[in-house]
Amino acid sequence: MTDTQLPAIITSANVTKHYNQTYALAGVDLTIGLGESLAIMGPSGSGKTTLLHCLAGIIRPDEGAIRLLPTDRSARADVTSLKESGRTALRREVFGFVFQQGLLLPELSAVDNVALAAMLAGMKRPDASEHARAWLQRLGLAEHLHKRIGQLSGGQAQRVAIARAQVTQPVVTFADEPTGALDSTTSTEVLSELLASTTGRGSTLVVVTHDETVAARCSRIVRLADGRIVSDSANQAQQAPAQFVQNTEFAQNNR
């Protein structure tokens, strides 16, 4: 079990990553729960994005182990020991991604951007297009299916990015500053849709953000500094009842 009493989906132990003499990560131990929304926060250079990239198998840490635990939709995997082909398969079939700039293909329509992700995961084109349309309609883009990305607003483009990430029904979705380029109102709407499409169906969301408002809507906040975890709201939540008991006993003994 994780600190939040959810079944674990990802564990990391002593994850270390350095570039020349600079440590981006300096021994990170973290367990992430299935169905959890986890915000990773910290100042620039604290290792947030490096940690997300290691957890997602985009880059390999220099030391430590990252493991994906089995679910009814995915098998157990040692992410750090997989070859590049294995990590690519994880990113294609088990993980979903939403980035600040969307990283959508501008020459394709909204529906084709989403359908492409489904086809890369092995879905046949008719089914992929059907699933893509369904996700875009669910996210309020029924009138924009055949528009190219440049014809959409920033918020609409991020909804396409969410649909692309969710069309394969990933077990874990990684989001790197997904609302960073949006105004506050659109940011709130996009985050609501991201949470509904991930934790709302029992999967996990891991989001890197500088925005305290975004973090506050997640079930757990981990803060990094100099490549190390310096606080974890799950641990604090566990410590609070124990502290309450200690304070109560002290008060009773000193009446």
Per-residue pLDDT tens for 113-168? 999 999 999 999 999 999 999 999 999 999 999 999 999 999 999 999 999 999 99
Of the pLDDT bands very low, low, confident and very high (cuts 50, 70, 90), residue 1 is: very low
Residue 253 lies in a domain: no
Number of domains observed in the structure of the chain:
1
* Domain range enclosing 230: 1-94+202-247
Q: Where are the beta strands (DSSP E) in the chain?
A: 8-19, 22-33, 37-41, 63-68, 77-78, 95-99, 172-176, 204-208, 220-225, 228-232
Q: For the domain that residue 43 is a member of, what is the CATH number?
A: 3.40.50.300
The pLDDT tens digits of the residues spanning 171-219 come to 999 999 999 889 999 999 999 999 999 999 999 999 999 999 999 999 9
Would 185 be classed as within a structural domain? no
Cβ neighbours, 10 Å, residue 22: 9
Report if residue 187 sits inside a domain.
Answer: no
- Say how many C-beta atoms besides its own lie within 10 A of residue 160's C-beta: 27
* Residue 70 resides in a domain: yes
Tell whether 60 is covered by a domain.
yes
**Alpha helix (H) residue ranges in 94-199:** 110-120, 125-138, 154-166, 184-197
What are 155-172's pLDDT values in tens digits? 999 999 999 999 999 999
- Domain assignment present for residue 217? The answer is yes
Tell whether 74 is covered by a domain: yes
For helices 110-120 and 125-138, the axis angle rounded to 10 degrees is: 130
List beta partners, residue 17: 25
Evaluate whether residue 40 is within a structural domain. Answer: yes
